[in-house]
Structure 1
Amino acid sequence: MTERILATADRLFYQQGIRAVGVDTIAAEAGISKRSLYDTFPSKDLLVAAYLRGRILPFPDSAENPMAQVLALFDQLQARLAAGGFRGCPFVNAVTELARDCEAARAIALRYKEDRRLHIRALLAQAGASEPDRLASQIALLLEGAIASMLVREDPSVAVQARDAAVVLMRAANVG
């Protein structure tokens, strides 16, 4: 039942927004009673936290060189943007919607973003970047910028443009 609730919450929260979707709707769409939902997730905040944790995917193991792995993040983003139904980053959306009402959501979002930046940093350090921390922050900003730009422009090529900018940054840092 937990998986069914989370799958329903994931779909509805991402498509319609966290505030727009009530627990009554989630319970009805999941085919369970509201009581069963609250037995599994005693509050909507706990359900939101579980939804966000479920959105965190491990970084794939790769035999590719570190620079190629960094650039693959942009390729993966471009594929997600081109697939349709893109409504932005679920972590940013949650923080934006909930403001300070759900500190758990903010903490999960922050941890996710920092883990991604640290992953990029580790790859850049492997590739010999002289300032991997600074470069990782810049590349993470390019990813974030592509996501925000896609929401406004509705043009998946923004990920390709961000990738091109990442190449310029990495070359300037003598990476690759």
Structure 2
Amino acid sequence: MRMLVVSDNHGWDSILTDLKRRYEENVDVMIHCGDSELLADNPAVEGYTIVRGNCDSEDQYPNDVLESVEDCRVFVTHGHRYNVKMTLMNLSYKAKENSADFVFFGHSHTAGVEKQDGIIYLNPGSISLPRGRSEKTYAIVEVDKLQITVRFFDEKHVEVEDMKATFSR
């Protein structure tokens, strides 16, 4: 299984179109973690599972989504409602409450991935306004029977190799 995860494009619709063109036939799901700043009828967001961020005015986006992708439970949120800039504790309670295998979130614009209590927490960073690193990033998550591999890519689709992470399943 493969999942594309992107967040915080802040109005830059052509990057979402580019990602869709590149990946929609090669991933099982395309996930957007909020702050698209695009309306729900914008063609750039079509095909994405998308949540509402603190900068989104579109009320058609849900705050959170729990989605099953193959045999995995994926919880998606922007993160501002869970105070993710300070701690992952609130988000971890919600993840456990929903029996999530993966938690995808944005808001901080800081790319990173970690595994806690068997749950993968992934922030793909911001595809437009990164913090902590210079690269504008998104992530591809690959899941097989034995392992989970997370790769980060910049807006030109070049892998940020030092960010790659692999976890046992």
Pair in the same fold by TM > 0.5:
no
Q: Structure 1 length normalisation: TM-score?
A: 0.27
Q: Which has the larger Rg?
A: 1
TM-score normalised over the length of structure 2? 0.28
More RCO (CA 8 Å, sep 6+):
1
Higher share of residues assigned strand: 2
